[in-house]
Structure 1
Amino acid sequence: MKKWKKKFIEFSLKRKVLKFGNFKLRSGRNSPYFFNSKYFCTGSDLLKLGECYAHAIIQSRIHPDILLGLAYKGIPIVVATVIALKIQYNINLAYSFNRKEIKTYGDGGIIVGKSIKKNNSIIIIDDVLTSGLTIQEFINLFNIKKNNVISGIFLIFDRQEYGTTEQQSSIQEIETAYSLCKIFSIINICDLIQYLIKYNKYQKELKNILEYYKIYGSKEINY
């Protein structure tokens, strides 16, 4: 396991972003763990998180016009990321985020920040991928695919579960539906499982996770 991944997992456990228990997901699945980025809630937390995203974007060699954060958890992350890109790499990117409801007064609209124009290259910023429903609903609802190029989707954590059917993972479904789009994550469930095994941590919880992934895990899981 790469040292920085180990540090990020331990950072997530320390901040109680990564918890073990019994959690009902939006997909309807009952998960033995939950990754909740809302607990990255201090300046130092967001600084570290923004640096991780900025590094991942640089490593991807994608050159977007706009970073677009998905409401709500993607909003502080996208702000932290554009700041980190400027400070660390002197790259001055614009950002936007969506409202959950269309504003009908004042400036109106659904997008806050930089306006998204036709043929813009967009990176979508979100926190966790489970079934992929949130991302697909956003792309379809706001017609992002029709007039723009989605160059990538960047996440903190990929749960590596199958999507709407057992035939494809959530990532495969999204990458098939939006062919120019690739998905990147800072860590995924394989990283977490490897960490728990290697460092002999949370063995009871690990057993529950392994049982869960016998049911919901995508075929790409390899730990």
Structure 2
Amino acid sequence: MSELAPYKAEFLGAAINGGPLSFGSFTLKSGRQSPYFFNAGQFYRADLLEAISTAFGQTIAEADKAGVFLPEGADKDTSKPTFDVVFGPAYKGIPLATAAVSALASLDKQRYGSIGYAFDRKEAKDHGEGGNFVGAPLQGKRVVIVDDVITAGTAKREAVAKIRAAGGIVVAIVVALDRMETLPDAPTKESALGALRREFGLPILAILTLDDIIAGMKAFATPDDLARTEAYRAQYKAED
């Protein structure tokens, strides 16, 4: 883990020690038998939430200050934030968005103090304030979507469509983990992350990748868990 940035190493350590990242045999939606499983819903404890929120905040801040969220060919003025809202798709994305915004304010309140968060409702509310969204208005705003992982990419496509329909401008997607594996039944060795990047032309960033996990496993995992995870990577790793 020494090769990782400190906040990434701390995030990986928290995920392993706290239980969100576990090893064994897990059946994925794709039907594949995975030797590891990542569950962002397990970051419910205060110390674990701090680790994932800091990781999201740092990842977003680094990309923002490097101009990653700006369109190609745009003036690279990064003296002020290059995004306005962090959006979390319901349900797991909701705490991630709020935690990321809080972490950004802790990192640099002057720069990120006015950044908002928003999330969607599974069903539109027909009373009170109504609507399909909660949180910051999206009309005309530059939006970063955050979520745990990209599996098939369906939830991210729905989020992009909803945000655009509300007048928002999606500038990036940031996920906690890139599994780096090919889509089931894909004609090429393309990952879900790569397919979304190609489809929308957006930067898609991950705090950790499967390569990072394997590098970290060498310090604590059993030889069997490590061997099975490396074999899984060799079998399913995408080429994008």
**DSSP-derived class of the 1:64 partner:** coil
- 65, 83, 106: which one aligns with 1:87: 106
Q: 1:129 corresponds to which residue?
A: 150
CA distance in 2, matches of 1:41, 1:149: 30
Q: Which amino acid aligns with 1:127?
A: D
Q: 1:7 corresponds to which residue?
A: 10
Q: Which runs of 5+ in 2 are unaligned?
A: 70-81
CA distance in 2, matches of 1:12, 1:64: 28
Distance 1:89 1:188, change over 3 A: same
Distance 1:25 1:137, change over 3 A: farther
Identity %: 28
May I ask how many residue pairs the two structures share in their alignment? 216
Q: Report if aligned partners of 1:99, 1:112 keep a CA contact under 8 Å in 2.
A: yes
Q: 2:77 corresponds to which residue?
A: none
Q: 1:214 corresponds to which residue?
A: 234
Q: 1:174 corresponds to which residue?
A: 196
CA distance in 1, matches of 2:103, 2:145: 16
**DSSP-derived class of the 1:126 partner:** strand
- 98, 121, 125: which one aligns with 1:103: 125
TM-score scaled by length of structure 1: 0.87
TM-score scaled by length of structure 2: 0.81
Q: Which amino acid aligns with 1:2?
A: L
Q: Report if aligned partners of 1:130, 1:161 keep a CA contact under 8 Å in 2.
A: no
Q: Report if aligned partners of 1:145, 1:178 keep a CA contact under 8 Å in 2.
A: no
1:177 Cα deviation (Å)?
Answer: 1.1
**DSSP-derived class of the 1:127 partner:** strand
1:162 aligns with 2:182: yes
Q: 1:115 corresponds to which residue?
A: 137
Q: Report if aligned partners of 2:14, 2:51 keep a CA contact under 8 Å in 1.
A: no
- 205, 210, 223: which one aligns with 1:203: 223
1:79 Cα deviation (Å)?
Answer: 0.9
1:20 aligns with 2:23: yes
Deviations, residues 120-155 of structure 1 (Å, cap 9, x unaligned):
211001011233222123323x26279432111111
Structure 1: 4+ residue segments shifted above 4 A: none
Distance 1:111 1:146, change over 3 A: closer
CA distance in 1, matches of 2:13, 2:138: 37
Q: Which amino acid aligns with 1:95?
A: Y
Q: Report if aligned partners of 2:12, 2:213 keep a CA contact under 8 Å in 1.
A: yes
**DSSP-derived class of the 2:31 partner:** coil
